[in-house]
C-alpha cells in the first residue's frame, strides 16, 4: 500500500516536475519584484499583469493541444491578424454588427483550423509546413483586405479587455475558466485521452484504431477558434484591428507551452503547465519593466528562457 | 514473332517508364522553364535585360542561404535563425565607420556571429536533443534582442562601398553576388557529393542510428551543418546589406521561410538524407521567378505571400506522394 502510494507520488513528481520548476521561478520573480519596486505588489499592478496575459493565454491554450498531438500551429499569428481586421472592419462602429462579426471570425477560425487538419491528414504533409503555408496565405488575404487599421469598434467594446467580474479582469477569468475546462477535457474525455495517445505513439494509436482524423480536425479547429478569440480580446484592447497585430503571437504562443513542460514531440505535458508558463512570461516582462530593462533585453531573456527550458526537459524523441 | 512483339511491348513499356522517370526527376526544371516561358508570354518586359538582372540580384542572397539551409535539412533539421543572422550581419556592416578599411573587420565579425550562432544551434540539437525548430527559434529571438539592444532601435551607419559593389554591381553583365553564389554552390555541391564528409551528411540524415553504428560521429556532422548554415547566412546578410544599401533591424526578413520553401520545393526532404544543393537552387529560382511574375502580371504584391503559402504546401505534398 505504502509502496504503491510512494510510487504514485514519485510518478506525480516526475510527471509534474516541470510545473514545480515553473512555480519556483514564479516565486523567485515575485520576490525580485518586491525588492525592486514598492509598486510591484499593488492591486493595480497585479490586475495589469492579469489583463496583459489574457491574449497570450488564449492563443497558447490552442497551441498546447496541437503540440500535444505532436503537431504545431504556425498559422495562429496570421489568423489573429485576419480575425482582428475582419472583426473591426465588419463592425465598423455599429453596435448591432458586433455579434455577427464575432460569430463570423470565430467560424472562420474553426474553418481555417479544419483546413489545416485536412491538409495534414489527406496531403500527408507535416503540420509545420501546412500551417506555415496557411499562415502566409492568411497574411496575404489580410493585406488584400486592408493595409492599415480597419474600421473601428463601438464604445463599450473595451469592456472585454478592461472590465471586471467579481473584481477580477473579465478576460483573465474567461481564460482561466477555459484552461480548467480544457484540462478536465484532456483528463476525462475520450477525445482528450486520444490526443495524448496519438501524440505519444502515432503508430500504436493507429494500430489501436484510434480516430486520428477526428482528433486532428478537432485540435486544429480548436486552435483556430482560440486564435480568433485572442483576436477579439486584442481588438477590444486596442479598439481597432491591424493587419500585423498577430505577427508576434505565432512564436510567442509556443514559449509558454514548452516552458510549461509540454514536449514538442507530443504526448507529454498539459494545459495547466502552459497557464503557469503564460504567467511566468507575463510576470517576467513586468518585473523587467520595473527594473527599467528595455524591451530589447526582454527579448534576449525570453530567448534564453526558451533555451534553458528546452534543454532541461530533454525530448524523448526528436521532431522537426 | 510473338517474341518480337513481346520485346516491342516491353520496350514500349520501359520507354514509358523511362519517360515517367525523366519527368519525375526533372519535374522541377521543367516547371521552371514552363514558368519562364509563361511569364515571358504574358509580360514581354519579363525577359528584358533590366528585369533579368534584377531577378538574378535578388536570387543570389537567397541562393546562398538555401545552400546552408539544405545542409541543415539534410540532417533532419531546420534553421529558423538564418534571417536573424542575416540582419545581425547587416547591422555589423554598418557598425563601423563605413569605409573600405573596415571591410575585412566587418567580414570577420559578421561571419563570426554566424558561425557562433550555428555552433549554438548545433550543440543544442545534437548534444541536448532539443528540437531544431525550438533551438533555432530561441537563437533567433536572442539575436534579435541583442541586435536591437546594440542599435538601440535603429541602426544608423553606412555600408562600406566594398559591400555596395559586391551586393549590387555586375561584371560583364553578371552580378558579383551571383558569381559568389555560383562559386559557393559548386564548392558545397562537391563537398556533399564527392567527399567522405558529404556521404556522412547523407547517412546521418538518412538514419542517425545507422550512422552511429557505422562509427560516424553523427553529432559532429550535425553541428557542422548548422555552422555552415550560420556562416552562409551571415555572408548573405552582408551581400544583401550591400544590395539594399540602407540597413534596418530586419534585413533578410522572410528569408527563413523562403529558404525552407526553396529547399523543400527543390526536393530536399524534410525527413532528412535526400536532396541536393542544385535542387535547392532551382527551387530558389522558381520562387524568385514566381514572385517577379506576380508583379509583372500586375497582381497586387500581397498575392506573392498567398502564392508562397500555397506553393510550400503543394510542393511538400508532391514530394510526400513521390516518397510513398
Q: What pLDDT score does B186 carry?
A: 97
Summarize the confidence of residues B69-73 as an average pLDDT.
96
Separation in Å, CA B267 to CA A11, B139, B191, B290? 44, 27, 18, 18
Q: What pLDDT score does B321 carry?
A: 58
B132 touches chain A (CB under 8 A): yes
Summarize the confidence of residues A53-73 as an average pLDDT.
96
Across the A:B interface, residue pairs with CB atoms under 8 Å apart total 150
B301-315 pLDDT tens trace:
888 888 888 888 887
Q: Does B123 reside within a domain?
A: yes
Q: Does A233 reside within a domain?
A: yes
Q: Does A3 reside within a domain?
A: no
Q: Is the pLDDT at B200 greater than 50, yes or no?
A: yes
CA–CA separation, A215 vs A213, rounded Å? 5
Provide the pLDDT confidence category of residue A255 given band limits of 50, 70 and 90.
Answer: confident
Summarize the confidence of residues A69-91 as an average pLDDT.
95
CATH code, B288: 1.10.3470
Partners of A119 on chain B (C-beta within 8 Å) are: 313, 317
Q: What pLDDT score does A230 carry?
A: 97
Q: Does B14 reside within a domain?
A: no
Q: Is the pLDDT at B324 greater than 60, yes or no?
A: no
Q: Do B129 and A135 touch (CB under 8 A)?
A: no
Q: Does B118 reside within a domain?
A: yes
CA–CA separation, A115 vs A133, rounded Å? 11
Q: Does B97 reside within a domain?
A: yes
Partners of B310 on chain A (C-beta within 8 Å) are: 133, 137
Which are the contacts of B179, defined by CB distance < 8 A and separation ≥ 6? Answer: B171
What percentage of chain A exceeds 70 in pLDDT?
92
Provide the pLDDT confidence category of residue A317 given band limits of 50, 70 and 90.
Answer: very low
Summarize the confidence of residues B67-74 as an average pLDDT.
96
**What's the mean per-residue pLDDT of chain A?**
88
Q: Does B264 reside within a domain?
A: yes
Domain span including residue B52: 30-323
B105 CA to centre of own chain: 26
Q: Does B244 reside within a domain?
A: yes
Length of chain B: 324
| Residues β-bridged to residue A165 | A168
Q: Is the pLDDT at A313 greater than 70, yes or no?
A: no
Q: What pLDDT score does B295 carry?
A: 79
B89-136 pLDDT tens trace:
999 888 887 788 888 899 999 999 999 999 999 999 998 888 888 889
CATH code, A48: 1.10.3470
B218-247 pLDDT tens trace:
999 999 999 999 999 999 999 998 888 777
Nearest chain B residue to A75, by CA: B309
A105-134 pLDDT tens trace:
999 999 999 999 999 999 888 898 899 899
Helix (H) or strand (E) holding B194: helix B176-194
* Stronger pLDDT, B231 or A263, i.e. the higher one: B231
Q: What pLDDT score does A319 carry?
A: 45
Q: What pLDDT score does A318 carry?
A: 46
Q: Does B221 reside within a domain?
A: yes
Q: Which of A137, A251, A303 sits opposite B145 (nearest CB)?
A: A303
Provide the pLDDT confidence category of residue B58 given band limits of 50, 70 and 90.
Answer: confident
Q: Do A124 and B317 touch (CB under 8 A)?
A: yes
Q: What is the DSSP letter of B174?
A: E
Summarize the confidence of residues A144-169 as an average pLDDT.
89
What percentage of chain B exceeds 90 in pLDDT?
37
Provide the pLDDT confidence category of residue B8 given band limits of 50, 70 and 90.
Answer: low
Say how many domains are in chain A: 1
B145 touches chain A (CB under 8 A): yes
Partners of B152 on chain A (C-beta within 8 Å) are: 296
Q: Is the pLDDT at A161 greater than 90, yes or no?
A: no
B253 touches chain A (CB under 8 A): no
Provide the pLDDT confidence category of residue A137 given band limits of 50, 70 and 90.
Answer: very high
Which are the contacts of B305, defined by CB distance < 8 A and separation ≥ 6? Answer: A136, A137, A139, A140, A143
Residue listed under C-alpha cell 471586471: A164
Q: What pLDDT score does B121 carry?
A: 96
Q: What pLDDT score does B284 carry?
A: 92
B24-38, B192-206, B210-224: segment of lowest average pLDDT: B24-38
Summarize the confidence of residues A18-24 as an average pLDDT.
79
Q: Do B146 and A300 touch (CB under 8 A)?
A: yes
Q: What pLDDT score does B3 carry?
A: 52
Q: Does B22 reside within a domain?
A: no
Q: Cell triple for residue B281?
A: 537552387
Which are the contacts of B266, defined by CB distance < 8 A and separation ≥ 6? Answer: B28, B66, B70, B275, B276, B278, B279, B280, B281, B282, B283, B284
Provide the pLDDT confidence category of residue B11 given band limits of 50, 70 and 90.
Answer: low
A39-48, A178-187, B222-231: segment of lowest average pLDDT: A39-48
Q: What pLDDT score does A1 carry?
A: 44
Task: Looking at the complex, report in whole angstroms how far the Cα of residue B54 sits from the nearest Cα belonging to chain A.
Answer: 24
Domain span including residue A48: 39-312
Q: Does A28 reside within a domain?
A: no
Q: For residue B50, how many other CB atoms are within 10 A of its CB? A: 8
Residue listed under C-alpha cell 550512422: B211
Partners of A254 on chain B (C-beta within 8 Å) are: 134, 137
DSSP characters over chain A: -HHHHHHHHHHHHHHHHHHHHHHHHHHHHHHHHHHH-TTTTSHHHHHHHHHHHHHHHHHHHHHHHHHHTT---TTHHHHHHHHHHHHHHHHTT-GGGHHHHHHHHHHHHHHHHHHHHHHHHHS---HHHHHHHHHHHHHHHHHHH-SS-B--PPTTTTHHHH-EETTEEHHHHHHHHHHHHHHHHHHHSHHHHHHHHHHH-HHHHHHTT--HHHHHHHHHHHHHHHHHHHHHHHHHHHSSB-TTTTTTHHHHTHHHHHHTT--TTSSS--HHHHHHHHHHHHHHHHHHHHTT--HHHHHHHHHHHHHHHHHHS--SS---
Q: Which of A123, A295, A310 sits opposite B313 (nearest CB)?
A: A123
Q: For residue B254, how many other CB atoms are within 10 A of its CB? A: 15
A32-46, A273-287, B259-273, B291-305: segment of lowest average pLDDT: B291-305
Say how many domains are in chain B: 1
From the list B80, B107, B54, B86, the residue with the least C-alpha distance to B247 is B86
Which are the contacts of A99, defined by CB distance < 8 A and separation ≥ 6? Answer: none
Q: Does A8 reside within a domain?
A: no
Helix (H) or strand (E) holding B170: strand B170-171
Q: What is the DSSP letter of B45?
A: G
Q: Does A72 reside within a domain?
A: yes
Separation in Å, CA A115 to CA A71, A119, B229? 14, 6, 33
Q: Does A31 reside within a domain?
A: no
Q: Is the pLDDT at A320 greater than 50, yes or no?
A: no
From the list A80, A20, A53, A25, the residue with the least C-alpha distance to A261 is A20
Amino acid at each position: 500500500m505504502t509502496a504503491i502510494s510512494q510510487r504514485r507520488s514519485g510518478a506525480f513528481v516526475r510527471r509534474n516536475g516541470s510545473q514545480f520548476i515553473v512555480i519556483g521561478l514564479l516565486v523567485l520573480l515575485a520576490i525580485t519584484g518586491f525588492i525592486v519596486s514598492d509598486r510591484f505588489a499593488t492591486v493595480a499592478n497585479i490586475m495589469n499583469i492579469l489583463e496583459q496575459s489574457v491574449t497570450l493565454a488564449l492563443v497558447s491554450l490552442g497551441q498546447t493541444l496541437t503540440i500535444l498531438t505532436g503537431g504545431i500551429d504556425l498559422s495562429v499569428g496570421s489568423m489573429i491578424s485576419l480575425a482582428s481586421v475582419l472583426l473591426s472592419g465588419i463592425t465598423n462602429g455599429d453596435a448591432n454588427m458586433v455579434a455577427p462579426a464575432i460569430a463570423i471570425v470565430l467560424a472562420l477560425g474553426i474553418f481555417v483550423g479544419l483546413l489545416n487538419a485536412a491538409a495534414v491528414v489527406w496531403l500527408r504533409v507535416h503540420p509545420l509546413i501546412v500551417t506555415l503555408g496557411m499562415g502566409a496565405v492568411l497574411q496575404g488575404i489580410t493585406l488584400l483586405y486592408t493595409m492599415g487599421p480597419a474600421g473601428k469598434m463601438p464604445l463599450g467594446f473595451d469592456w472585454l479587455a478592461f472590465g471586471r467580474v467579481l473584481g477580477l479582469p473579465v478576460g483573465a477569468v474567461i481564460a482561466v475558466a477555459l484552461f480548467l475546462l480544457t484540462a478536465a477535457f484532456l483528463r476525462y474525455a475520450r477525445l482528450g485521452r486520444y490526443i495524448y495517445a496519438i501524440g505519444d505513439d502515432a503508430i500504436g494509436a493507429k494500430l489501436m484504431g484510434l480516430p486520428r482524423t477526428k482528433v486532428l480536425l478537432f485540435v486544429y479547429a480548436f486552435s483556430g477558434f482560440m486564435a480568433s478569440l485572442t483576436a477579439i480580446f486584442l481588438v477590444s484592447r486596442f479598439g481597432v484591428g491591424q493587419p500585423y497585430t498577430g505577427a508576434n503571437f505565432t512564436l510567442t504562443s509556443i514559449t509558454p507551452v514548452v516552458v510549461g513542460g509540454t514536449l514538442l514531440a507530443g504526448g507529454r505535458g498539459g494545459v495547466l503547465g502552459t497557464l503557469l508558463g503564460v504567467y511566468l512570461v507575463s510576470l517576467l516582462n513586468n518585473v523587467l519593466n520595473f527594473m527599467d530593462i528595455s524591451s530589447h533585453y526582454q527579448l534576449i531573456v525570453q530567448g534564453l528562457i526558451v533555451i534553458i527550458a528546452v534543454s532541461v526537459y530533454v525530448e524523448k524523441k526528436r521532431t522537426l | 514473332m510473338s517474341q518480337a512483339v513481346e520485346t516491342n511491348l516491353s520496350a514500349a513499356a520501359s520507354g514509358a517508364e523511362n519517360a515517367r522517370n525523366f519527368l519525375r526527376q526533372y519535374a522541377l526544371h521543367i516547371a521552371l522553364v514552363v514558368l519562364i516561358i509563361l511569364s515571358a508570354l504574358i509580360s514581354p518586359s519579363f525577359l528584358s535585360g533590366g528585369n533579368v538582372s534584377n531577378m538574378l540580384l535578388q536570387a543570389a542572397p537567397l541562393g546562398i542561404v538555401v545552400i546552408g539551409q539544405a545542409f541543415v535539412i539534410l540532417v533532419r533539421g531546420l534553421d529558423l535563425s538564418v534571417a536573424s543572422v542575416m540582419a545581425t550581419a547587416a547591422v555589423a556592416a554598418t557598425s563601423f565607420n563605413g569605409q573600405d578599411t573596415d571591410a575585412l573587420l566587418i567580414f570577420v565579425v559578421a561571419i563570426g556571429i554566424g558561425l557562433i550562432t550555428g555552433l549554438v544551434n548545433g550543440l543544442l540539437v545534437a548534444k541536448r536533443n532539443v528540437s531544431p525548430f525550438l533551438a533555432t527559434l530561441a537563437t533567433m529571438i536572442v539575436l534579435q534582442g541583442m541586435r536591437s539592444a546594440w542599435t538601440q532601435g535603429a541602426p544608423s551607419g553606412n555600408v562600406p562601398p566594398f559591400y555596395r559593389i559586391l551586393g549590387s554591381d555586375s561584371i560583364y553583365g553578371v552580378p558579383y553576388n551571383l558569381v559568389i553564389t555560383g562559386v559557393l554552390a559548386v564548392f558545397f555541391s562537391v563537398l556533399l557529393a564527392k567527399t567522405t564528409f558529404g556521404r556522412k551528411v547523407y547517412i546521418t540524415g538518412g538514419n542517425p542510428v545507422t550512422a552511429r553504428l557505422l562509427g560516424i560521429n553523427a553529432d559532429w556532422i550535425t553541428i557542422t551543418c548548422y555552422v555552415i548554415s550560420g556562416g552562409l547566412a551571415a555572408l548573405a546578410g552582408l551581400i544583401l546589406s550591400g544590395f539594399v544599401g540602407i540597413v534596418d533591424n530586419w534585413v533578410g526578413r522572410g528569408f527563413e521561410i523562403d529558404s525552407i520553401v526553396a529547399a523543400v520545393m527543390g526536393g530536399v526532404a524534410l525527413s532528412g538524407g535526400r536532396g541536393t544543393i542544385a535542387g535547392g537552387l532551382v527551387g530558389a529560382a522558381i520562387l524568385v521567378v514566381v514572385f517577379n511574375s506576380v508583379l509583372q502580371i500586375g497582381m497586387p504584391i500581397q498575392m506573392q505571400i498567398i502564392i508562397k503559402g500555397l506553393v510550400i504546401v503543394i510542393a511538400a505534398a508532391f514530394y510526400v506522394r513521390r516518397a510513398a
